[in-house]
Amino acid sequence: MKRLSLTSRLTLSLAVLVMLVMATVGYALYRTLEQQLIIRDDGALITRVEQIRTLLLNEDVMTLIHDKPGLFANMLGNTESLLVLRFPDGTPLMEVNPGRSPIPRITPVPAGAPLTLAAVHHAVTADGIPFISASALANISRAPYQVTITTGRLMSERTRTLAMYRNQIILVATAATWLTALLAWFFIRRGLTPLRRLAAETASMDIHYLSRRIGITRAPSELRQLIEAFNSMLERLEINFRQLSQVSADMAHDLRTPIGILLGQTEVAMRFKRDTDYYENLLGSNFEELQRLARMIDNMLFLARAGDAGHAIERAALPLTAEFGRLSDYFEGPAEERGLTLACERNGATVWADPELLRRALANLLANAVHYADTGTAIVLRAEQRPEGTTISVENAGPDIAPHHLERLFDRFYRADASRAGDAGASGLGLSIVRSIMVLHQGRWHAQSGKRRTRFSLFFPAKPA
């Protein structure tokens, strides 16, 4: 089913609301009017009985009734009224009943008692028209008996008036509903213009215009929050997209170098027939390049997987003395080649970390230290355990890293000294892997450099109690 638009929904709600209000008000007014009319008609009927009671006290009137009975029929004036005067034995003194209504049988009010609204009887005819009636005894001048007055009236006129009123209310309510719907539709459509503008602006966004933002100054306050959220989403997208473009550009660039070398060397080798030594050398060099490529792809895969929100790590309390021992053994050879020594401060500290990831992070830091340290100096591995967590640092003597590089060292493919890095087979991924590992551990990472000493520190939070 087609979903209703916001304009249609609001219009419909408003129209229904107006219709309900009008119907309720109209019904209340109708009932009030009906009540008022009933009281007025009942009052008039009682007044008529009282008047006839007074008239009957006058002896001339009795004579008049005998002589000219038609006079009262004229006095009552319309065909809807009924008036019967009876002697105590039931014989009629006078009967005016042009509408031929059945004469109601009601107990008359005693002659001395005044008539109240309660004395009026209400009935409904077969046609559904109300019929009111009242009856009372009346004294007659100088006669020992009393006469029963019975009077009634068919309320067709009142029924007509009320029907007219009801129709009018229905007409007004319907007209008001339509008018409201029409005006509401117009105003709501106008009111929703900013929403349509927002939709149009959003639709015009694409990847090439990520720096564009949606204008907020003319937007109504309800939409501001949405626009702000949307703009900040655009900002994040823009940053991420720029980073991603940078990463893919760097990646292409970094993969091109080893592949270019492989291609070049192979091409040269294929031009002439070579001796076995040449081929052995070529294969050895190709093997190194391929290793470098494999390492890079491995690192990139690791970073891609570590970026997944669902990447799970398995932490354990690891004694750092043992970890440092293992790393020293591993890096002993490369360090010796450069005349470096490895000094580990063993103080029995432990760290709550994933063993594989911890080793990988520390190996990356040590590889950098071994690579960049001044020959003949010592690399120091330190651990400091506190209640909130353990900090591990790797420090070496070597060239200072400029402050503007320090902040960006942990970015993917970032190298402080790109010219030097290429020949060493470095790809600039080591520290970004360290950062990913620290993110997985909800830890912190930090680099400081000055006075020819460079230190990288990693903080691993302790296991929550």
Ligand X SMILES: Nc1ncnc2c1ncn2[C@@H]1O[C@H](COP(=O)(O)OP(=O)(O)OP(=O)(O)O)[C@@H](O)[C@H]1O
Yes or no: say if 299 and 433 are a contact pair by the CB < 8 Å rule.
yes
Rounded to whole angstroms, how far apart are CA atoms 68 and 73? Answer: 10
Instruction: Check residue 443 for interaction with ligand X (CB under 6 A).
Output: no
How far, in whole angstroms, is CA 334 from its chain's centroid? 60
Please enumerate in sequence order all residues whose Cβ is within 8 A of that of 169, keeping only pairs 6 or more positions apart, or say none.
22, 26, 27, 29, 30
Which three-class secondary structure state does DSSP give residue 351? Answer: strand
Binding partner of residue 454 among ligand X, Mg ion, none, CB cut-off 5 to 8 Å per kind: ligand X
Binding part of the chain for ligand X, among 50-58, 130-138, 349-357, 412-420 by CB under 6 A, reads 412-420
Binding partner of residue 421 among Mg ion, ligand X, none, CB cut-off 5 to 8 Å per kind: ligand X
Q: Which is nearer to Mg ion, 108 or 430 (CB)?
A: 430
Query: Could you write out the DSSP letters of every residue in 375-440?
Result: TT-EEEEEEEEETTEEEEEEEEE-PPPPHHHHTTTTSTT--TTHHHHHHTT--S-HHHHHHHHHHH
Residue nearest to Mg ion (CB): 430
CA angle 386, 391, 392 (to 5 degrees): 140
Rounded to whole angstroms, how far apart are CA atoms 94 and 148? Answer: 11
Binding partner of residue 417 among ligand X, Mg ion, none, CB cut-off 5 to 8 Å per kind: ligand X
Binding part of the chain for ligand X, among 144-152, 213-221, 250-258, 393-401 by CB under 6 A, reads 393-401
Instruction: Check residue 417 for interaction with ligand X (CB under 6 A).
Output: yes
Binding part of the chain for ligand X, among 168-176, 242-250, 380-388, 408-416 by CB under 6 A, reads 408-416
Distance of closest approach, residue 337 Cβ to Mg ion, in angstroms? 17
Among 396, 436, 441, 459, binds ligand X (CB under 6 A): 396
Q: Which is nearer to ligand X, 87 or 414 (CB)?
A: 414
Which three-class secondary structure state does DSSP give residue 102? Answer: coil
Rounded to whole angstroms, how far apart are CA atoms 66 and 77? Answer: 19
Q: Which is nearer to Mg ion, 270 or 424 (CB)?
A: 424
Instruction: Check residue 251 for interaction with ligand X (CB under 6 A).
Output: no
Instruction: Check residue 428 for interaction with Mg ion (CB under 5 A).
Output: no
The kind and range of the H/E element at 94 are: strand 92-96
Distance of closest approach, residue 432 Cβ to ligand X, in angstroms? 6
Among 155, 427, 436, 437, binds ligand X (CB under 6 A): 427
Residue nearest to ligand X (CB): 430
Q: Which of 419, 433, 422 is nearest to 254 (CA)?
A: 422
Binding mask 377-416 for Mg ion (x = CB under 5 A): ----------------------------------------
Among 158, 382, 415, 441, binds ligand X (CB under 6 A): 415
Q: Where are the alpha helices (DSSP H) in 82-220?
A: 156-191, 193-203
Rounded to whole angstroms, how far apart are CA atoms 175 and 27? Answer: 16
Among 7, 368, 393, 427, binds Mg ion (CB under 5 A): 368
Q: Which is nearer to ligand X, 176 or 447 (CB)?
A: 447
* Torsion-angle region of 78 (φ positive above 0: left; ψ -120 to 50: alpha; else: beta): beta
Say what angle helices 276-307 and 430-440 make with each other, to 10 degrees: 30
Which three-class secondary structure state does DSSP give residue 243? Answer: helix
Instruction: Check residue 152 for interaction with ligand X (CB under 6 A).
Output: no
Instruction: Check residue 379 for interaction with ligand X (CB under 6 A).
Output: no
Distance of closest approach, residue 329 Cβ to Mg ion, in angstroms? 20
Among 72, 131, 331, 372, binds ligand X (CB under 6 A): 372
> Number of residues in contact with Mg ion, rule: CB under 5 A?
2
Task: Write down the residue that tokens 């071994």 correspond to.
Answer: 370
Distance of closest approach, residue 443 Cβ to ligand X, in angstroms? 17
Neighbours of 249 (CB within 10 A): 11
Residues that bind ligand X (CB under 6 A): 364, 368-369, 372, 396, 398-399, 401, 409, 414-417, 421, 426-432, 454
Could you list the residues that contact Mg ion (CB under 5 A)?
A: 368, 430
